[in-house]
Every structure is written in C-alpha cells, then in structure tokens.
Chain A
Amino acid sequence: MLKRENKKTYLGTMLIGVMFLFMAIPTFTNGQTWNEIDAAARAGYFKVKDTYSKEVDFYKQSRKDFLKVKQKYQQYKNAPNKAELETKAKKFLNNAMSVTIRRLETLRNKAAGMRGISDADRQMTLTEIDNDINWLKEKQSLLPAATAQQIKDQAKIALDHWNKVKVTAKRISGELLAARINFTIGKAETLATELDKEITALKASGKDTAKLEQRLSDFRQKIALAKEKYQSAQERFKAINSLASADKLFTDGHQFIKQANQYVIEAYKSLKEIIREMKLQSALNPGIGSIFGITPTSTPEK
C-alpha cells in the first residue's frame, strides 16, 4: 500500500517536472522576431564595446607612462632608466595590441549579429577578423621575453599591422552596412511584388485602384533610388584597400548609405499609406506580414 502511494508521489513529481519542461520549451522554440534578434545582438555589441572602451583607458595610461619614462631616459641615459624604459615599452606595446584586439572583437560582434549577410560571407568575414586577432595574440606572447632590439622590431611589425587593421576594419564595417540596407531594400521589393498582386486582384473584382497604383509606383520609385545609393556605397566600400584612401572612401560610402536610408524611410511612408488604403477596402492580406518574418500559420504567442 505504502509502495503504491510512493509510486503515486513519484509519478506526480515526474508529471510536474515534465510540465515545467513543456512550459519552458515554447519560450525558446517560438520564432523570434527580427526586432528581438536585433535587440539581443545590439545588447551583445554594447557589452563588447564597453570592454573595448575600458581597454582604451589602459592603453592611454600605458602610453603616458611610456612617454614619460622615455623622456627621462633621453635626459639621463643611464642603465636603471634603460631597464625601466624597456619594461614600459613592453607594457605599452602589449596594451596597444590588446586594444587593437578589442577593437577587432567589437567589429566581429557586429559582423556576427548583423542581418542581411549570407552565411558564407559572414563566415568569411569572421575568419578574416579571427586571423588578425590570432596574429596579434601570437605577437603579444613574444613580448615578455623580448630584448631591446626585439622590442623595436616588434613595434615596427605592430605598426604595420595596425595600419592594415585600420583598412580592413573600414572595408568590413562598410560592407556590413551595405549588406544590412540591402536586406531592407530586398524586403521592400518583395512587398512591392506582393502588393502588386493584391492590387491586380482588387482591380479584377471591380474596385477603384487608381490611388493604390499611384502609391505603389511612388514606393517602387523610392526603393529604386535607395538601391542606386546602396550600389554607390557598396562600390566605395569594396574599393577600400589602402590607408591613403580608406577614410575618404568610407566617408563617401557612409554618406550614400545615409541617403539610401532616407529613401527607404520615404518609401516605407508610402507603404504605410498603401496599407491604410487597402484596409479601407478590406483587402489587406495577412500573408503580407510574413515578409517581416511572421507567418500567418505560426503558433500564437501566449
């Protein structure tokens, strides 16, 4: 009898456990919206960026220390000052490499979380950044045992690499941005095709679609202009391959992206008007929402 009751208690406990599991599963199997994915990616980005900012402070302090000791050595040129200079130079170089790594990690985080990039391109970008990070870590590991001459040699190598990183970071961040806006433009183009079908169906049922057609034309025109600006930006970003031109090309490309963004904003304003107009005609197809990552057949969120 007692055994049977124990069995019941056990089964009851087991049932509660399984219920807990079922309660937990939907919270992470429910499809995340882009909004939620963006928010999570951005929170992660700010965390890495914060670590970078702290590293900048360490770097700046070690630079001050190094320059102070260097001045002292140049003034007195004695052995104790030389030893102190070597120590500070190593620390400064080490921090310069660390801050460069953190800067690359910030970009890596953005590349990993930003949407609109194909898996293959994302992987290629991450590998390129990882190679730079690993290179720096390897050079960093040589610093503690470096002689005075080796410190100077390492400094030359680090300088060359820093100049290379500056160019790579500008190109990659520009390309990420171009892919991101292209993603939104692509969505708009899909929407235009879908809305066109809806309007054609309305027209076939005898409704007046003149206003809708005009607004759809505005929408398409603005998206076409946004696409032109995106393409100009992409050309600039892809051309970034030297220190001399990196800043100018990035700034130009970024300007084009901002202009493309303005056209996207205007286009989506027209889209809202189309949606309102279609609502008035009771012709809004729920399937349109799927373009934004939501399918009408998905399980309702509780």
Chain B
Amino acid sequence: MAKIVLSIITLVIIITAGAVFFKTQIQKSTSEKIYPPVVPQVKSTQTTVVPRTATSTAPQLQTGIESLIDAELAGLDADISDIGQYNQDTSLDTMGNDISAVSQ
C-alpha cells in the first residue's frame, strides 16, 4: 500500500515538474517571437566580475549594454504607440448618439 502511495507521489512530482518546465519553455518561445531576444548573451557576460582593466569582455559588455538600450527604447516606443492607438480608436465614436436614440 505504502509503495503504491509513494509511486503515485513520485509520478505526480515528475508530471508537475515536466509540465512546469515545458510551459515555461513555451512561454519563453512565445515572448521571443514578439521581441527577438537580445539580452541572454549579455547576461552571462555580465555575471563575471571582470577587473576594470580587463579588455576581453569589454566589447561584449559594450554590445550588451547597447542592446539593452535598444530594447529599452523599443519598449518605450511600443507603449507610446499602444496608448496612442487606444485613444485614437474611433469604433465607439457614435455610441453617445446611439444610446441617446434608446432614451427617446
């Protein structure tokens, strides 16, 4: 009996872990379709504590920061555009008059 319970618990752990893993991977790949990933290489470069005089990682770091700047600006641009479009939406412009027609 105990063996069956333990096997079931093990199976549940494996299925849950597997599901979480694949779900996260799918979410990651969906996000990457919207914004091409520019950050990951930078992350690993920046994780090393580099002496300030070292030249080996400087070019990568430079490219990394530049990519981050581009991503930051792209994100801001997208938000400005989304909010602009939200307010320029004319689909409901006649709603006021249309509702008035009901009350008459």
Could you list which residues of chain A lie within 8 angstroms of chain B, going by C-beta atoms?
A: 6, 10, 13-14, 16-18, 20-21, 23-24, 27-28, 33-36, 38-40, 42-43, 45, 53, 56, 59-60, 63, 66-67, 70, 89, 92-93, 96, 99-100, 103, 106-107, 110, 114, 151-153, 155-156, 158-159, 162-163, 169-170, 173-174, 176-177, 180-181, 184, 187, 250, 254, 257-258, 261, 264-265, 268, 271-272, 275-276, 279, 282-286, 288-289, 292, 294-301
Contacts and interface: CB of A to CB of B under 8 A. Distances in A.
Interface in B4-36: 6-7, 10, 13-14, 16-18, 20-21, 24-25, 27-28, 30-32, 34-35
A286 B18 contact: no
Contact of A289 (B55, B61, B83): B61
B101 interface: yes
Contacts of B14: 13, 16-17, 20
B7 A173 contact: no
B73 A282 contact: no
A275 B31 contact: no
A298 B43 CA distance: 8
B100 A265 contact: no
A279 B58 contact: yes
Contacts of B45: 286
Given A10-B3, A13-B7, A159-B96, A66 B47 contact: no
B1 interface: no
Contacts of B72: 34, 184, 187, 268, 292
Contacts of B16: 21
Given A279-B58, A289-B61, 6 more contacts: A56-B91, A67-B101, A169-B86, A173-B86, A271-B69, A297-B49
6 contacts: A20-B14, A42-B82, A110-B82, A254-B87, A284-B61, A289-B65
A283 B62 CA distance: 11
Contact of A20 (B21, B42, B61): B21
Which residue among B6, B16, B62, B86 has the maximum number of chain A CB atoms within 10 Å of its CB? B86
B86 A110 contact: yes
A254 B84 contact: yes
Given A106-B86, A301-B44, A180 B79 contact: yes
A289 B64 contact: yes
Contacts of A151: 102
